[in-house]
Structure 1
Amino acid sequence: MKFEMCRWAKGWESKKILLLMSVFIFFLLTDISLYAQEIVQFSVSKKEVVFLVDASKSMGGRGDNAIMDSVRQILYSLPSDVQAGLVVYNTGIQDIAEVGSSPEEMERILGVAEYAGYSNAGQGLKQALSLFSDEKDVERHVILVSDGEIDMRSTEEAEASREEFVQCARLATDKAVKIHIIAVEGVTDVAKEILKAAEISGGNIYNEGTDRGIYDEEMDGKTHMEGTGNGIYAEGLGGGLPEIAWDILWRQFNFPRKSIGIIEGSGGTFHIEIPQGGVSKVKVLLAGGSEMENVEARYTAGSGRVTTGNQFAVAALTNPKESIDITFSLTEPSTVEAWLVMEYQAVLDVGVEYRTEIMQEEKAEPVYRHYMDMEIGLVGVNSKNINVWRQGNYEGHLAAYTVNGEEYEGEIKNGVINHTMPADGLDMVEVDVGMDSFYEIYGEVDPVQIKVELPPAPVQEVDYRPLWYILGGLAAALVLILAVWMGKRKTALVYVQHTDLGKQPEKYEVKSCQYTGKLNLYVVQTPNDRDIAPQTIRLFGRKSGRMTLEWMLNSCGIKLGNVGAEDIVFYPGPEKTIVVMDQSEQCTVMRGMEILKKGIGYPVNYNEKITATMEDGVTELEIHYKNLKPSEQQAP
């Protein structure tokens, strides 16, 4: 099939130029998408919508097909958190469906509607507004479908209906209800009064067809109705009823959805994988550029239904499994675009680990500071505690969240958002995650309340000094050798937090210990942004003694220049630790979140990391201390 966009071009050269321009624009946009990462923004608030359908005599030619089809298109595409109702009116109120009625019930009402009589839009709008609930924090819309003016048997009745219509539109504004107008077959000058509801309430006007003659005032890239205020006919709000229906779904309701792709031609099949872990409902929405037929869906689910219209199809599943395949054909070659709407039942899951850091000045009592290391995840209800964010393509996804009301932006890594905060002085911590940046619908995900339970402060109950005296005597020889070797350098002092909380931390000199494990070295940043591959330095089997960061870099063939690496030193520590000491003037060295004091050694356990910002203020390294597997424990 040839591209439709090229039909107007005359000659092969015109087609070739257009194709080259398309390719250039494609790669340009692709390049931009690689570097621009933003939080997407959907509307996740509760919504109510009432369809107000004019069933006067003049609508009879459209009521049985296109109008009903466009309303069905919107109704069956909406997710379950959008409650819909219906009012059908002509001279009076012909029929209603309360807000929260099923799409099937509203389709039945539209199917038996009698298109006759006059157009009492005032009474119809009054009835539509009365159907909304009194629930707070709900977004509300009225979608009025009409082909013309407010018309009654007499001039007096028509004027009364017009006045009631305007009053109801103002009442809608007071209640934050937006009224959107679908002007079937365009709106003539005499029928412009029906558009006042959108003007007053700040809704949009959708004009079927392409005649925009009554719109002539350009402002901010939008075309306003002559003599009106907020009633906006924006670029793209016209066209056929199927296009208008999709625009209302995306622009007014903007519920979370994910684009699946586009198929061009006379038919095809969409294959959609369904992530596991709490998906309760799924809808696949198809929008065709021409009439669709022979739509079939193959799936495994608790229940399912396929609804089709002239240029749309919706496959709705509950408790879906694995995947769904949707096959279709078109009466005329065109394009079909598909979207996936997934609804989850999920709750936040926050894991907390408490960490204690000891701050101690020489000849002073130690000060204990506590921190909470939190992992924020999302668990599907009735899914055996499956983490939803570990099932789909969420790695690197940005999400907004709050902790005790403070706003943050976090990146999902390995299925969780990591957050660290001081815990001292807190009794409760509340964590909430905004769900409007996700392509799925999570409904009401309540914030999580966490009771802060700090570990008890160490109490000195047992005197372990005799044991340390014995160990000190055994290490005296090593201390003497190190003292001679280091010359005037300060002896490393180490503060050790014993696993026994009853033991006070105390300082000691580095003893005759053996190196164990290994160091994984990562050069995170250099002045010229040079990429340097990670390196591993095996410590097991090496002779005890002083090692500098400069020696490690040189042994790995890494040349960083004079950045102070020779003044960051390492020693073997007790109980399979390694001791790090910062003797530099300008470097900043951290053990985890703790900044190392100059000239004092700090023990590092397995799976802890050291971060070093060098004297140039740019070069940054990370050193991870890891254990060796038994098969790796061979002397170098």
Structure 2
Amino acid sequence: MGKVEKITIKLAMLFIGLSLLFPARVLAAEKNEINEITEKKQIIFLLDASKSMQGDGQWIEAADSACMIASALPKEYEVALLVYNTEIVYEEDFGNINQKTRHALETVELQGYTTPAVALETAADMFDSAAADKRVVFISDGEISLRDQSETETAIRQFENMVDQIAEQGIKIDMFAIPNDKTENEVSYGTKVTSGEQYTVGENQTIEEITAKYLFQTLQIEKIELGEAVSGEGNMTVDLQDTYMQNAKILLVSGENIEDFHVAGQCESLNMLQGNKFAVAELENPLERQITMDYSLENRGNVHTYLIKEYFLKADMEKSYTSEEGTFTLKVNVVNHQEKPVLDSETLKDSISVLINGKEASYRVENGTAMVPYQTDETAKVNVEIAIQPSGNVVHYIKTADTVELTVPVVEEEPDYTVLWIVIISLCAVVLLLSVLYERKKQKKNDGETGSIIIEKSEPPVLPKYDFSGQLAVYLLKGEQEDDVAPCSIKLFGKSRKSISFDWIKDRCGIDYKLSDADKIRFTGGKDHALCFKNSGYATIVKENQILKRERKYSLYYGEKILLIFNNGGTEIELHYKNMKPSER
């Protein structure tokens, strides 16, 4: 580097240093961290497996009831199960109730006498003391009996003592009572002492109806009713309205036995649990809004269908101040469990409100963020709260009430530095001119001594660049029209484009379909002759039986292939990435 260049750089640094001496207005933002509060709730079902429960279908209905509630409850609930007579004959710990449990309950042998105190004591030891809500649910005819009267009376007293201890621990006892004319309901003592709920089967309600009532009324689980019908079979297309939920559950409750139950839709995983008169399908992280469901029953009967959607949302907030307008802007960003801004969803946006000092404030949405203007002439503390209406959905969100201090900066009158700047610039110009003249004089002197000047050329830095390689083979596997489109091969080697879209590829292959978001799948050259691609739209890309995520860059190497699915499965196209022989290039 020459001396002239060094002097120029020093002068530029001098200018920067001087500029930092004078005040300037800036836009400041402060992020408020909000801690998440989680509340765990626990339920333990106690199923009576004594001989008195051998009535027509009573035991299977009890198994259905417990498994249905366990599979339909949201993530904040943990459910366990104990089966008892005079001892515990079967148990499932928290979080383990599934289709295997339902099958195992069918094999339980109903026999012997019954003493519920042992089951209640076991349940009390299983609860987590930190759980916000703890419930025991008996499904029983309420009988307490042993071999003789004195033993029975002792068992009743043991049960009542255990109930009193349970009540002191804040545990509620609920009961689905199955009437038995030959016995007295001794277990109902628990619901009275703990202020629990008791439902009786047969009082103009079936156990399936009681189970749904317990789920949606007693536990107040939010749901959307999809419909009620009297039929032997049916099918339905369910609109999830968005894909921001962590899971969506479709619950079918029937008055008759269910023969078949199927749910189809794109999601990360699908879990099913089916009993005699209920079925639950859980779709983890749905990838599309439209879900199809079909079912068939042994006989025509009443069918109720519900949709339970569960969202996990969190919010963070920033503030900024624009001095020219004297206005603060509160920036509220609400995202789901995948960090996707939910304000981009019209259905969710309508249920989200921003409250300032308890009053709802209007806001506009920019890039998925709520922009809330707030004007004040002096420093103030305001309470900002994010309120979310469930609207039939189960919503878990961070408590976003926070006090924000809005500090109005003091703006001092700036002195006039015009004359000073003129003097400084003039001095710098003189110094620069003298330096240039000095360097020229010195160079002329050197020319006289050496007779030549050697100028070394500096080469520009070489930026890494990956060109396209190989070729693409395009196969139309499924089209929206019946006409055949022959396989197509596109040469990529030597392409001068920085990137190409799939929309360009399909046009080159003569695929005259309107494919939604085809222009949002783009390909670029990659390292080691790879073909890189990224999907920014809502088309589906499958590689090696895995659905690839949106907005993530992937690589395709020679001999590999991907499947592109458009228009909700209406069109399927397969791309094969191949090498080219030198003679073909």
TM class by shorter chain equals 0.5 to 0.7
After the TM superposition, which of the residue ranges 338-347 and 106-115 deviates more from structure 2?
A: 106-115
* Residue 233 of structure 2 corresponds to residue 267 of structure 1: yes
Give the aligned partner of residue 115 of structure 1: 110
**TM-score, with normalisation over the residues of structure 1?**
0.53
Provide the rounded CA distance (Å) in 1 between the counterparts of 2:389 and 2:237: 26
- CA positional deviation for 1:296: 1.4
Provide the rounded CA distance (Å) in 2 between the counterparts of 1:266 and 1:109: 28
Q: Which runs of 5+ in 1 are unaligned?
A: 1-43, 211-237, 359-369, 466-636
- CA positional deviation for 1:440: 2.7
Instruction: Label 1:349 to 1:423 Cα distance change in 2 as closer, same or farther (>3 A).
Output: farther
Give the aligned partner of residue 309 of structure 1: 275
* Residue 224 of structure 2 corresponds to residue 258 of structure 1: yes
Provide the rounded CA distance (Å) in 1 between the counterparts of 2:111 and 2:361: 58
Identity over aligned pairs, percent: 23
Q: For 1:196, which of 189, 193, 211 is the aligned residue?
A: 189
* Residue 52 of structure 2 corresponds to residue 58 of structure 1: yes
- CA positional deviation for 1:357: 9.4
CA displacement 1:383-442 (0-9 Å, x = unmatched): 4xx32243142454375x776xx6556788768595747595568x77554556343333
Provide the rounded CA distance (Å) in 2 between the counterparts of 1:418 and 1:51: 48
1:348–1:376 Cα contact (<8 Å) kept: yes
Larger RCO, structure (CA 8 Å, separation 6 or more): 2
Instruction: Label 1:372 to 1:438 Cα distance change in 2 as closer, same or farther (>3 A).
Output: farther
Give the aligned partner of residue 181 of structure 1: 175
Give the aligned partner of residue 206 of structure 2: 240
Q: Tell me the secondary structure at the aligned position of residue 393 of structure 1.
A: helix
- CA positional deviation for 1:255: 2.0
Q: For 2:336, which of 359, 380, 384 is the aligned residue?
A: 380
Give the aligned partner of residue 88 of structure 1: 83
After the TM superposition, which of the residue ranges 85-94 and 429-438 deviates more from structure 2?
A: 429-438
Give the aligned partner of residue 343 of structure 1: 310
Provide the rounded CA distance (Å) in 1 between the counterparts of 2:364 and 2:271: 36
Q: Tell me the secondary structure at the aligned position of residue 54 of structure 2.
A: helix
- CA positional deviation for 1:56: 0.7
Amino acid at match of 1:126: E
Give the aligned partner of residue 228 of structure 1: none
1:86–1:106 Cα contact (<8 Å) kept: no
Q: Which runs of 5+ in 2 are unaligned?
A: 1-37, 419-585
Instruction: Label 1:420 to 1:157 Cα distance change in 2 as closer, same or farther (>3 A).
Output: farther
- CA positional deviation for 1:123: 1.6
Provide the rounded CA distance (Å) in 2 between the counterparts of 1:430 and 1:109: 54
Give the aligned partner of residue 390 of structure 2: 437
- CA positional deviation for 1:380: 1.8
Give the aligned partner of residue 457 of structure 1: 410
Instruction: Label 1:151 to 1:264 Cα distance change in 2 as closer, same or farther (>3 A).
Output: closer
Instruction: Label 1:408 to 1:252 Cα distance change in 2 as closer, same or farther (>3 A).
Output: farther
- CA positional deviation for 1:443: 3.0
Give the aligned partner of residue 206 of structure 1: 199
Q: Tell me the secondary structure at the aligned position of residue 382 of structure 1.
A: coil
Provide the rounded CA distance (Å) in 2 between the counterparts of 1:420 and 1:330: 59
CA displacement 1:311-368 (0-9 Å, x = unmatched): 322111112111210012334444433222222332114353435699xxxxxxxxxx
Provide the rounded CA distance (Å) in 2 between the counterparts of 1:437 and 1:409: 17
- CA positional deviation for 1:288: 2.6
Give the aligned partner of residue 153 of structure 1: 147
Aligned length: 377
Q: Tell me the secondary structure at the aligned position of residue 74 of structure 1.
A: helix
- CA positional deviation for 1:269: 1.9
Amino acid at match of 2:228: I
Amino acid at match of 1:390: D
Q: Tell me the secondary structure at the aligned position of residue 279 of structure 1.
A: coil
Instruction: Label 1:324 to 1:159 Cα distance change in 2 as closer, same or farther (>3 A).
Output: same
Instruction: Label 1:447 to 1:127 Cα distance change in 2 as closer, same or farther (>3 A).
Output: same
After the TM superposition, which of the residue ranges 291-300 and 258-267 deviates more from structure 2?
A: 258-267
Give the aligned partner of residue 452 of structure 2: none
Provide the rounded CA distance (Å) in 1 between the counterparts of 2:417 and 2:221: 64
Amino acid at match of 2:125: S
**TM-score, with normalisation over the residues of structure 2?**
0.57
* Residue 161 of structure 2 corresponds to residue 167 of structure 1: yes
Q: Tell me the secondary structure at the aligned position of residue 461 of structure 1.
A: coil
Q: Tell me the secondary structure at the aligned position of residue 271 of structure 2.
A: strand
Provide the rounded CA distance (Å) in 2 between the counterparts of 1:99 and 1:261: 32
Amino acid at match of 1:149: E
Provide the rounded CA distance (Å) in 1 between the counterparts of 2:399 and 2:377: 22
- CA positional deviation for 1:461: 1.1
Provide the rounded CA distance (Å) in 1 between the counterparts of 2:106 and 2:376: 63
- Superposed counterparts of 1:562-601, under 5 Å: none
Provide the rounded CA distance (Å) in 1 between the counterparts of 2:109 and 2:138: 17
Provide the rounded CA distance (Å) in 2 between the counterparts of 1:241 and 1:176: 27
